[in-house]
Amino acid sequence: MSERNPEPAAARRAEPKTVLLRRGEVHSPADPFATAMVVERGQVAWVGSEGAADAFADGVDEVIDLDGALVTPAFTDAHVHTTSTGLALTGLDLSDAPSLDAALARVREFAAARPDDRVLLGHGWDAARWPGGRPPTRAELDEAAGGRPLYLSRIDVHSAVVTTALLALAPGLAGTPDGGPLTADAHHAVRGAAFAAVTPAQRAAAQRAALDRAAALGIGTVHECGGPEISSEDDFTGLLRLAAEERGPRVVGYWAERDVDKARELGAVGAAGDLFVDGALGSHTACLHQPYTDAAHTGTAYLDADAVAAHVTACTEAGLQAGFHAIGDAAVTAVVDGVRAAAEKVGLARVRAARHRVEHAEMMTPETVAAFAELGLTASVQPAFDALWGGEDGMYASRLGADRARTLNPFASLLRAGVPLAFGSDSPVTPLDPWGTVRAAAFHRTPEHRVSVRAAFTAHTRGGWRAVGRDDAGVLVPGAPADYAVWRTDELVVQAPDDRVARWSTDPRSGTPGLPDLTPGRDLPVCLRTVVAGETVFVRPGE
């Protein structure tokens, strides 16, 4: 657990220490054999060899003996819901519940342990992985929660099951018959009612819990994806204020509303993030060109190409990023068509320079991949989705059939086309887990979509910075922000998933900086220290 300094941020950061790190492995393109690094005034000042480090030893405030540890740029998680992540960490987590009966038992235990909570909050159920494949009924939840208000979001957070008592708190929903999980506007209404019961103190505690977990995993920056259908303005501005005032990861805020002035007023860098063009595959709300294999419809469309074009035009002219949540192939097509229409109006060069984003972008075709490259769109993607739902027997195959499922999350095709990638978790949909994310991309369940560990690592470090318009960060070179993490790990290798990408090599003569061996089954690196702008935000206990 990271310790938080009660001093005002300005006072703490007035004179950051000059630090020499030595006797380790420093992952830097400036010197593939670097074993030492100097940090000064919140920036990387020098990287180089152990012998040269002696010249700096007497002129620094602190020397850190790495004892063979690896130093890398800190990770950036490009898609996080911070408060919801914290509430999942401190509340009812059903992500590993093996069955419906087990989930209901956990609800009973949680309700008994929280007698004073106005509303019970839980997350993570996935009926697709339960025997029988069905979610709980409202009557079952009413019994398990003892008649109290209860909100349980599905793992993709695009649908939820609730109790009768919670429906009574949501305007216009009292008496709604139990037709299964709530989606679209009904879901937004019950989520709003549930989260309205969270006090400011509970909210701040959840935000701290999430940021502390991020720091402990070597994450130096998170992109918060807020919005009126996701959280609240107070939640969003409170998080940005907390991150500015307290020690921890950087928070970059995106506000998902088609109101450019509101996004700027709230302190967002873009009217973007989860601005929904569609929903999610697991909830049957992702918008498809052809019907679902297991449902006789094509999902839900929230925005069309005209709405996308109007928003991209407004954001481009205002100097803000636009961005959209798009998962299904029809939704991705709507985004591409809309952005292209905006480019015809304001100019392709201006649209490309704005670095507009698409979150998730799972169902891509060769045509939409090429359009992303043409229009300069960043694909903000979550490799853990494939690890969780991909494969011949996974949820994707159940929803779409095996042939369509194999096309999802084509990271290699995106990279080959020159589309910028930024990796994230969409936490709490999947956990904060940066090395696990890199592994999921390098060992994608569909081999032709795999990328090298190096490419995946870059997408999860430098890619997140580039997604917010910074090309000078996310890499340990002189002049870059001193955002880095220190890791205990085994031998470093230059690793690709198979010979179609590149051969493995541990030969130091290759001049390519090594990274941990992420072969499935091997232990992931352990974070020992995380530093943001030269300030330590996490030290592993006992180190």
Domains of the chain (ranges plus CATH)?
Answer: 18-74+477-489+525-539 (2.30.40.10), 80-183 (3.10.310.70), 200-468 (3.20.20.140)
Element (H, E) at 412: helix 411-417
Alpha carbon distance 398, 128 (integer Å) = 9
Using 50, 70 and 90 to split pLDDT, how confident is the model at 5? very low
Alpha carbon distance 222, 215 (integer Å) = 10
Using 50, 70 and 90 to split pLDDT, how confident is the model at 513? confident
373-389 pLDDT per residue, tens: 999 999 999 999 999 99
Q: Is 313 helix (H, G, I), strand (E, B) or coil?
A: helix
Question: Per-residue pLDDT for 350 more than 90?
Answer: yes
25-43 pLDDT per residue, tens: 999 999 989 999 999 999 9
What b/e sequence results for 516-533 when a residue is b if at least 16 CB atoms lie within 10 Å of its CB, and e otherwise? Answer: bbbeeeeebbebbbbbbb
- Structure-model confidence comparison of residues 9 and 239, the more confident one: 239
What b/e sequence results for 353-365 when a residue is b if at least 16 CB atoms lie within 10 Å of its CB, and e otherwise? Answer: ebbbbbbbbbbbb
108-158 pLDDT per residue, tens: 999 999 998 889 998 889 998 899 999 999 999 999 999 999 999 888 888
Question: Per-residue pLDDT for 165 more than 60?
Answer: yes
Give the chain's radius of gyration (CA, Å): 23
Can you tell me the mean pLDDT for 328-338?
98
Single-letter residue type at 247: R
Instruction: Please report, for residues 39, 249, 400, 421, 449, the alpha-carbon distance to residue 534 in angstroms, rounded to integers and kept in the order given.
Output: 7, 12, 47, 26, 36
Token output for 263: 């996004």
Can you tell me the mean pLDDT for 433-462?
97
Helices in 267-410 by DSSP H: which ranges? 305-318, 329-346, 348-354, 366-375, 383-389, 395-400, 402-405
Token output for 529: 């220290």
Question: Per-residue pLDDT for 467 more than 50?
Answer: yes
